Amino acid sequence: MSTTPATSSTSRTDQGQIGSLAGVHSDSDRELPAHPAQPVMEAKDLNVFYGDFHAVHDVNLAYGRNEITAMIGPSGCGKSTVLRCLNRMNDLVAGARVEGQVMYHEQDIYAKNVDPIAVRTHIGMVFQKPNPFPKSIYDNIAYGPRVTGMKVDNMDDLVEEALRGAALWDEVKDKLKQSAYGLSGGQQQRLCIARTIATKPDLILMDEPCSALDPIATARVEDLMLQLRNDYTIIVVTHNMQQAARVSDRTAFFTARPDETTGNRTGLLVEYDLTSNIFSNPSDKRTEDYISGRFG
Amino acid sequence: MSVATTTAARTVKTTVATGKSRDRTTVSLVFLVALWFSLFFGVVVLLALIISTATKGAARFDMELLTNYTSLVSPETSGFRAGILGSLWLMLFTALFAVPLGIAAALYLEEFADSEKWWNRLIEVNLQNLAAVPSIVYGLLAVAVMALMGFSDSGTVLGGSVALALLILPVIIITTREAVRAVPREIRDGSLALGATVWQTTWKQTLPAAIPGIATGTILGLSRAIGEAAPLVIVGLAGSIRFDPEGLMSNATALPMQIYSLTSQSQEALRQAASAAIIVLLVMILGLNALAIFIRNKFQRSW
């Protein structure tokens, strides 16, 4: 196996030091059960269609509390589609249809009586490209609590708390009223994370959060993810296998299978296990081929 | 130097350093001249028109042109006070009527309408066609609208504004839609993912980000409206009035209306005044366009 396994010697104490750029800031001292004991979220027989196109086939996945779950796989394997189902962002895609269930604390978020807007206030999302609003840094953070009608005693405190939570406070505390567009790409992405945690979500979904960032900014975001794991459950889609190995507790490997008649590629879940197992001892040949760089 | 290097150097010399450019062949030069001529023709005709109008009206570039009313008795000191004020009043109310309606319609079509539904497609096609409808038809439409609303007075600021607002509504809708469409999907996604509703996202993110584009489109629409005479003739605006308009229901005239009525006069001094008024109108239009360009450059955002 050519890929570095998630077993590294670095411990949690390293996380505070953002300077640890070596790329090994994961830990696997954590003893995790083979399956998430009390999943926060669980996809059950999830199928996604875009019009007639069957994008994702029968995905069953349970996401554990205060864990980071990585979803990896080649392009077109449906991992981002699955992620967007978890906070009903797929509703916004014309022609998208979801079958199956997504259980969130024993509530199916696709049940008829569920308000997708309310779902999104509990399940935050960070996108591939940093997408700060064309407003000040302060207003970027305050936007979420304002639009969701959150009860806030002191907005200044909330903004500071969110920025500290995203390890951005020291860099921006003197320019809160300046435009978020003046920040670097990595700072913008951490601002987007701060903006998400300001609404106090339960879960944070991250869709390739580092793919537009340089290695140093990536390392900072990864450090931040490990810190956030103490308070949040994180589900991250990534193209970067080393990233999955570094930060995640569990890894789900997806692949795309061409339909025999139409040739359309349908995504499906191949293997889901503790990250250390996936990277050191995968049980499926396709997983092994992918993480050893033989395809994808 | 080896033989291979020398050969390669010679080949490069003969194929690259040839002393001519393939971009300068006869065909491409002929084409270039044709392009230049087309440009030249358009600009020269326009320039000739402006210069001949300006020389005809040159004698009348004085303050009386702006401050006096039109007079057949003393044509030498005749002015366009009523027309200039009338045009300004018309623009004000045209903007007040057309801008909110246009923005609302554009936001519906871009952010809320399901483009798969047949009625929304019908609206789309109609909108494209409306922008090409002759302006005089909007005059007729405005007369009908005014009659339906129970206004019997003709030639009022209200009637003219309604006609011009209908005229520029499609322009405003189309430019607003483009401005709204230029706001990246990621901004909307970011807002929605925080738990904002589509309405909050539109109102607090998409619309503010699109304002510079909307302002530019609106001003360009207004600069089209300010030069229109045909719809105003239909709604009964007078060619000459000797008082200032005082409100929505006040009778009024407009600069293009006055120009239109004076150019058919036999007295040379009045025709001179009309030429000078054309230049005044052109300056107003150029001013509006300059404002549009200023707004576009000042607030332009690259995403």
Q: Does residue A177 contact residue A142 with C-beta atoms inside 8 Å?
A: no
User: Contact at 8 Å (CB) between A236 and A70?
Assistant: yes
Q: Which of B189, B194, B197 lies closest to A144 in CB terms?
A: B194
Tokens standing for residue A105: 């604390």
Report yes or no: B245 and B157 within 8 Å, Cβ to Cβ. Answer: yes
Inter-residue long-range contacts of B256-259, CB under 8 Å, 24+ positions, other chains counted = B256/B87, B256/B226, B256/B227, B256/B228, B256/B229, B256/B232, B256/B281, B257/B83, B257/B86, B257/B229, B257/B232, B257/B233, B258/B70, B258/B80, B258/B82, B258/B83, B259/B83, B259/B229
Instruction: Report if residue A173 sits inside a domain.
Output: no
Contact flag B190-A148 (C-beta cutoff 8 Å): no
| Banded model confidence at residue A17, pLDDT cuts 50, 70, 90 | very low
Q: What pLDDT tens digit does each residue of chain B (303 aa) get?
A: 688 888 888 888 888 888 888 888 889 999 999 999 999 999 999 999 999 999 988 888 888 888 888 887 777 888 888 889 999 999 999 999 999 999 999 999 999 988 888 998 899 888 888 888 999 999 999 999 888 888 878 888 899 999 999 999 999 999 999 999 999 999 999 999 999 999 999 999 999 999 999 999 999 899 999 999 999 988 888 878 888 888 888 888 889 999 998 888 888 888 888 999 999 999 999 999 999 889 888 887 766
Distance in Å, alpha carbon of A289 to nearest chain B alpha carbon: 34
Query: Within an 8 Å CB–CB cutoff, is residue A93 touching chain B?
Result: no
A127 shares contact with chain B (CB less than 8 Å): yes
Contact A80/A269 with Cβ under 8 angstroms? no
Does residue A251 fall inside a structural domain?
Answer: yes
- Across A139-165, average pLDDT: 94
A206: in domain: yes
Other CB atoms within 10 Å distance of the CB of residue B146: 20
**B residues 106-145 lying closer than 8 A (beta carbon) to A:** 114-116
B19 in contact with A at a CB cutoff of 8 Å?
Answer: no
A50 at interface of B, judged by CB pairs closer than 8 A: no
Tokens, residue B6: 């020398």
Query: Which 148-207 residues of chain A touch chain B by CB within 8 A?
Result: 148, 192, 195-196, 199
The 8-class DSSP code of residue A38 comes to S
Task: Select from 1.10.1370.40, 3.40.50.720, 1.10.3720.10, 3.40.50.300 the CATH code of B64-299.
Answer: 1.10.3720.10
Structural domain span for residue A50? 38-133+200-291
Q: Let me know if residue A261 belongs to a domain.
A: yes
Do residues A202 and A44 touch, judged by C-beta distance below 8 A?
Answer: no
Interface touch A117/B196, C-beta < 8 Å: yes
- Is there a domain that residue A170 lies in? no
Return the structure tokens found at A277: 């197992």
ipTM exceeding cut-off 0.90 for this assembly: no
- Structure token pair of residue A79: 């991992």
Residue A98: strand pairing partners: A48
Side-chain-facing half-sphere of A237: CA atoms under 13 Å: 23
Q: CB-based burial of residue B43 (10 Å sphere; 0-12 exposed, 13-18 middle, 19+ buried)?
A: exposed
Instruction: Tally the domains of chain A.
Output: 1
Put simply, whether A275 touches B (Cβ < 8 Å) is no
Asked whether residue A187 is assigned to any structural domain, the reply reads no
B191 to A118: CB separation less than 8 angstroms, yes or no: no
CATH number at residue A271: 3.40.50.300
- CA–chain centroid gap for B25, Å, is 40
Q: Does A82 fall in a domain?
A: yes
Binary contact (B116, A92; C-beta < 8 A): no
pLDDT in tens, B39-88: 999 999 999 999 999 998 888 888 888 888 888 777 788 888 888 999 99
